[in-house]
Structure 1
Amino acid sequence: MKLARFGIPGSEKPALIDTQGRFRDLSGHLADITAESLSDSQLEKIAAIDIDQLPLVDDRVRIGPPVADVRRIICIGLNYKDHAAETHLALPTEPLVFLKGCHPSGPNDNIYLPAGSKKADWEVELAVVIGKRGLYIPEEDSLSYVAGYCAFNDFSEREYQMERGGQWTKGKSFPGFAPMGPWLVTRDEVPFPGDLRLWLEVDGHRYQDGTTKNLIFSVPTIIAYVSRFFELEPGDVIATGTPAGVGLGHKPNPVFLKPGNVIELAVENLGVQRQLILAWDH
């Protein structure tokens, strides 16, 4: 099952995606897709709805992030061997955990660069959305805590991240730096999260083309590990890391984003995102 949200920011409505990829308005049955919607029992109720009886949504409508009330975005850094190598950083011996301090944005929303931005960069990632509360989750049971998966762009300003006191969160948290979606795909449709292709292009040039087979720490390992330090809650998002091909690692010279660039990215079976890069004008 594919869950989505559509409409203007702050007033999105819930949707199901039918077998032809069309949005079907779910608002007659559900007020919104929230953390409370992500339990197994609630997802079963949604799955029982006759999707063919739901109204079609205009395909020109804005797509929002697929979950309304994400409380935390927990990120795993340097979780692909090839990405660690391109950044000239040692492989982590434990998952490297940091937080993004912004809210998820729509998968096709414009991304505004911070004023004076010099080193804006991209990171296509598989994101895990938690469906039930858990602390000290056993690794062998960890996937049962997953509501679903989605594509994610862990957008970054590398100067802020790496040259302004070593605080990764400050380089990851500008408004709009967390495009998520277009859909939340429930875990029953993603039986092997460790075997998904993911790619990213800028202005039609493919920079990232990887697979979650190359994760250093697997999805079950990440969930179990993070739950030792956080009590995971429904609606929490875990971004699992990015493969090689980020702008910072481009050889012989890094490539950073400028106004007018267009990013397209996808994770296998989880949909495509497209973002136009603009200068901060607020």
Structure 2
Amino acid sequence: MSDSNTTDFTNPSTFILQGIPGLEVAHVWISIPFCTMYAIAILGNFTILIVVKMEQSLRAPMYYFLCMLAITDLVLSTSIMPKMLSIFWFNSREIDFSACLTQMYFIHCFSVMESGILVAMAFDRYVAICHPLRHSTILTNPMVVNIGLAVVLRSGMLILPYPLLTRQWPYCKTNIIPDTHCMHIAVVKLACADTHISSYYSLFVLFCVKGLDMFFVALSYTQILRAIFSLPTKEARLKTFGTCSSHLCSILAFFIPALFSSLTYRFGQNVALHFRVLIGNVNLLVPPTLNPIIYGVRTKQIQDRLLRLFTHKGT
């Protein structure tokens, strides 16, 4: 073990990612489901992008936002999986200090970006159901571009203080991070300084960004449900609600694990460390894995295009 792991230092050149503490002997076995999820995420999200690009009927705001979601999921999962697999397979635990901060930025930035895209998709569903005749005039291509830029800029600017503040803190006694990747709160806990500003800012991002996003999604669906229940027949209500089912599943797959993981990291001192790390990894990998499956199964236009692709290849 290097002396830098046990003696005081202020500017570590590297951190040591421990993996899943207490389950090191099972790393190879644990890698199998994670590697499978990553493969599904890569294949599924690339498929979504290819299908939307090839199918003219999918050139609509809902599918533009879906493409943004697919790109975000690809970057988010790729930010953590290569290093995680190198830990599990090759015991390659070292990560450069700057690389650690870069990984931290990408993980949190694209997580916030995904939250914003889900809000944009909720707005699209609200306009489509509550103001169907005005959908094409409200959600024009320039409007979709502006919403996309706003989502990207918001996440990029809000997460920028994470690595900037983390770089300023002095670090002491250990450079071992008990995780598979560089989460903000895990790195900040290693600092030997008053890091309240980092902690308070991360709570601000959690509650005032993701919390507000959840509020706007709930507000949109309150209006959507009112419009659905005002429809005259049960068939019409079910058909209209079906257009939101994919989005609702994506919301549940993203917000519930994210909120649970964030609260567990901060307030779950009595929760076993290996369980917290596993939940954190599942939180980051489940949405990229499930989103293409959800939209592939629930969206008839995507199914039809995929069927035509495989049919043509078969003939």
- More strand per residue: 1
Report the TM-score range of the alignment, normalised by the length of the smaller protein.
under 0.3
Query: Which structure has the larger Rg?
Result: 2
Q: Which has the higher contact order (CA 8 A, sep 6+)?
A: 2
TM-score, with normalisation over the residues of structure 2?
A: 0.21
